[in-house]
Structure 1
Amino acid sequence: MTDLASLPYRPCAGVMLLNRDGRVFVGQRLDSTLEAWQMPQGGIDPGEDALEAAFRELWEETGVARHHAELIAEAPEELQYDLPDDLVGKVWKGKWRGQRQRWFLLRFLGEDGDIDIATAHPEFRAWRWSDPADLPELIVPFKRALYTRLLQLFAPHLG
């Protein structure tokens, strides 16, 4: 049994991608049987800048090229979540207790046709645009508080 408190948090970058209508990109994870939707996010490689990681993850998960997104804001604080106990040994080979995330609000400059979730290593089985206020209800319960805080932090830039 792994001592949860001794495990570190995985460094991660997340993207809230906002379209022209003020709606946010969410994808339904391929590896989840839950009706869970989330925004693009993933690990920051050693030595990688968090914003660079955010643009890389956006490309890897949604097919959205960098020229189709522009930075609006960066969350002023790092956010983190803990995995539920039953997932700790199963996710990320048991190396992390959860994630500490740098979040970026990006404006989507392209058209829906510029989004392609059938990427080299697909993570989503479906995607849609959602109202920002709906995000906490769409995400898995253990990330709900993080999404709620993120909405507070980005509120000045949302509708």
Structure 2
Amino acid sequence: MVGKVAAGFVIFRRKAAAVEYLLLQTSYGIHHWTPPKGHVDPGETELVTAFRETWEEAGLEKTDLKIFQDCAKILHYNVNNKPKTVHYWLAELINPNADVKLSHEHQAYKWLPLKEACDCVGYKDMQDVLVQFEKYLAK
């Protein structure tokens, strides 16, 4: 059994010469930091879910983002002893006037450079995704 399937975007912006990643702090549990993501609804593709969840959780629209479909990562881990699969794509915030608007699921957000973002997320698999996506951008 596959378990729960979720999808989201690792969103970055270019600030001067630096790259910063968007992380949202959950308003539940241990208040961990994560990119916008959520569960795939019946009949949705993972990519459609990533757009929907980004809109619901961060208030960012399709037109605010450039998606790098060739830069994706799938994570597999357990939540409460149940398998979970999360699909992530790299996305650039291309609308400089877009404002992050949090849903009730999150209580704060930050734009952070790679090292601080890795420290913030805490989980090794998410750190690996950030590092891999940063290497993609450096090419």
Name the TM tier (shorter chain): 0.7 to 0.9
TM-score by length of 2: 0.83
CA RMSD of the aligned region, Å? 2.3
In structure 2, which of residues 82, 87, 105 is the aligned counterpart of residue 123 of structure 1?
105
- The CA distance in 1 between the partners of 2:78 and 2:118, in whole Å, is 16
Q: What are the ranges of 5 or more consecutive residues in structure 1 without an aligned counterpart?
A: 1-6, 89-95
Specify the SS of the correspondent of 1:31: coil
Given the alignment of the two structures, is residue 82 of structure 1 paired with residue 104 of structure 2, yes or no?
no
In structure 2, which of residues 53, 59, 63 is the aligned counterpart of residue 63 of structure 1?
59
Specify the SS of the correspondent of 1:20: strand
Structure with the largest fraction of strand = 2
- The CA distance in 2 between the partners of 1:128 and 1:72, in whole Å, is 22
Cα shift at 1:101:
1.0
In structure 2, which of residues 129, 132, 139 is the aligned counterpart of residue 153 of structure 1?
132
4+ runs of 1 displaced by more than 4 Å?
74-77
Do the aligned residues in 2 keep the contact of 1:12 with 1:99 (CA within 8 Å)? yes
In structure 1, which of residues 105, 110, 115 is the aligned counterpart of residue 90 of structure 2?
105
- The CA distance in 2 between the partners of 1:8 and 1:76, in whole Å, is 19
Say which one has the larger Rg: 1
What is residue 9 of structure 2 aligned with on the other side?
15
Counterpart of 1:10 in structure 2: which amino acid?
Answer: K
Structure with the largest fraction of helix = 1
Do the aligned residues in 2 keep the contact of 1:19 with 1:107 (CA within 8 Å)? yes
- Number of aligned residue pairs: 135
Cα shift at 1:156:
1.5
TM-score by length of 1: 0.73
What is residue 23 of structure 2 aligned with on the other side?
26
Counterpart of 2:136 in structure 1: which amino acid?
Answer: P
Counterpart of 1:151 in structure 2: which amino acid?
Answer: L
Counterpart of 2:128 in structure 1: which amino acid?
Answer: R
> Structure 1 114/158 Cα, relative in aligned 2: closer, same or farther at 3 Å?
farther
Do the aligned residues in 1 keep the contact of 2:114 with 2:131 (CA within 8 Å)? no
> Structure 1 45/74 Cα, relative in aligned 2: closer, same or farther at 3 Å?
farther
Cα shift at 1:70:
1.2
Cα shift at 1:136:
3.2
> Structure 1 104/76 Cα, relative in aligned 2: closer, same or farther at 3 Å?
closer
Do the aligned residues in 1 keep the contact of 2:7 with 2:88 (CA within 8 Å)? yes
